[in-house]
Structure 1
Amino acid sequence: MTDIGTRFRDLHRPGDPFILANAWDIGSARMLAGLGAQAIGTSSAAHAFTLGRPDMGQVTRDEALTHAQTLVSAVNLPVSGDFENGFGEAPETCAETVRLSCEAGLAGISIEDTALPDDSPYDRALAIERIRAAAAAARALPRDFILCARADGVMNGHYDLTEAIARIQGYEQAGADCVYIPLPPTFDDVATICQSVKVSVNVLVAGKFTSHLRLQYAKVGVARLSLGSALARATHRVIHDAARKMFDDGDFSGLMPSISGAEVDKLLT
């Protein structure tokens, strides 16, 4: 049987993007798998929410790995870990995170250039060196493993698209399999990003980028569409709105329409 990393790699086809469905617990992972997901991703923010914590560096590596292992065991699909900054600044820490992720059964991980818990970026040279170390560790593993390298400074307001593209080009040269600039200014920038590298490009479908269809992303060369915490936040929106009606107005109409228990049971099994 094809190993999980190879199965995951085979999904990455520029111009034919698959949806990396980010889940936050066994139930959401199994529902997404039952509804047709080809691969599952963890979400650092959504996982933090389940622990009652805010986003951005609030989950330890051990907690993230244990959570990821739970999702790996829950579904017969490739699972990729959203592992923030690799859980440390040093390149060797990123490399160790790759090795531990493989041991946990993950098909790949993403590592960003944010110097958590702050949202400022690492210097470009250090950011590239961190990916170089992670990629070397990935290539030394006993099976295939997809390393996605993120340039988060555009999303966080610390550098422009030109700098972000320079970073992902450096990540490509350092051995990354996939690159990722979350939330560029415009949809046209997605095409520019895809044209700037030869490796697979991931796009975060959140905010204004939810208004575009998969076909539109395909036409500009995207290989992977991830949800981040968008689906978890949509779920939290339902909780928020229904609870507001109940507690403020005694109105329970926010509980409908709902999915039947039988349908949920079917998807979970």
Structure 2
Amino acid sequence: MPTEKSFRDLHQPGNPLILFNIWDAGSAAAVARAGARALATGSASVAGALGYPDGEAIPLDMLLQVVARIRAVSDLPLTVDFEAGYGDTPAEIAGNAARLDMMGVAGINFEDGVPPENGIRSAAEHAERIAAIRARTGLFINARTDLFLQNPSDAHAALLSEAAARAVTYAEAGADGFFAPGLTEPSLISELCRDSPLPVNIMASPSAPSITDLAGLNVARVSFGPFPWRDTMAFLTQAAAKQLGQGA
């Protein structure tokens, strides 16, 4: 049975863990068959597959049902996009995280953004929530900062020192990884990897460096976020349109 420790060991700067994000049991089984070393849900993908917008619109109990079905088809380490914790207080968020821990989940993404994209919490406030989760669980806490997602790319260089400081604060609170989605400039990624005390997770995207290049920048984890689900839905739409058009 996978453990949080074995999942943690997969995070190696320069030899990144590749997470091709899933959204249900079927996609989990497909990605597992492709040779994945671990599985990761994406919040937008899970929500979209169930007809909800991103940003904690999906009820937590429904998310847990999806997680249970994924766990039923694969025993690979699973990390769940926990968004901002589905709660208003550190104690409530930690209790929600404990429910995932009891399901055998290896890790979570836990963001400092206020969903859906309504600003960013102070580092101290997010750290308090991380510490509460750490006190209740053994989960790998991938602390995500939304600094880069919620600001234009020409502002990213000026935000880098704040991101590095948040990585330090989150590490001190008990986080295990640092996720900086939206950061795509190679020199900035390299600098963040140098200054972060935590292994850095970068999101693959059309504007991001290749996986090979990210490895060369000392990235420890590469995830694909909503892009696999979006690409799958685009393919389904195109395939259906092609066949349905023949009956016109």
TM-score by length of 2: 0.89
Shift of 1:240: 3.0
The equivalences for 1:69-108 within 5 A come to: 69-108=68-107
Runs of 4 or more, structure 1, over 6 Å off, are: none
Shift of 1:147: 0.9
Q: CA RMSD in A?
A: 2.0
Q: Distance in 2 between matches of 1:231 and 1:170?
A: 32
The residue identity in structure 2 corresponding to 1:156 is Q
In structure 1, what is the equivalent of residue 147 of structure 2? 153
SS of the residue aligned with 2:85? coil
Shift of 1:245: 4.7
Q: Distance in 2 between matches of 1:118 and 1:214?
A: 27
The equivalences for 1:1-269 within 5 A come to: 3-138=2-137, 141=138, 145-157=139-151, 160-209=159-208, 212-245=209-242, 250=245
Shift of 1:111: 0.5
Name structure 1 gaps, 5 residues minimum.
253-269
TM-score by length of 1: 0.83
The residue identity in structure 1 corresponding to 2:235 is V
SS of the residue aligned with 1:80? strand
Q: Distance in 2 between matches of 1:82 and 1:64?
A: 10
Residues 171 and 124 (structure 1), Cα distance of their counterparts in 2 relative to 1, 3 Å cut: same
Shift of 1:117: 3.7
Alignment check: 8 A CA contact 1:94 1:131 kept: no
Between the aligned residues of both structures, percent identity stands at 33
Shift of 1:243: 4.2
Shift of 1:76: 2.2
| Alignment size in residue pairs | 242
Shift of 1:30: 0.7
SS of the residue aligned with 2:202? strand
In structure 2, what is the equivalent of residue 258 of structure 1? none
Name structure 2 gaps, 5 residues minimum.
none
SS of the residue aligned with 1:157? coil
Q: Distance in 1 between matches of 2:86 and 2:24?
A: 21
Residues 34 and 185 (structure 1), Cα distance of their counterparts in 2 relative to 1, 3 Å cut: closer
Shift of 1:124: 2.4
Q: Distance in 1 between matches of 2:26 and 2:6?
A: 23
Shift of 1:246: 5.3
Shift of 1:214: 2.3
Residues 33 and 201 (structure 1), Cα distance of their counterparts in 2 relative to 1, 3 Å cut: same
Alignment check: 8 A CA contact 2:183 2:202 kept: no
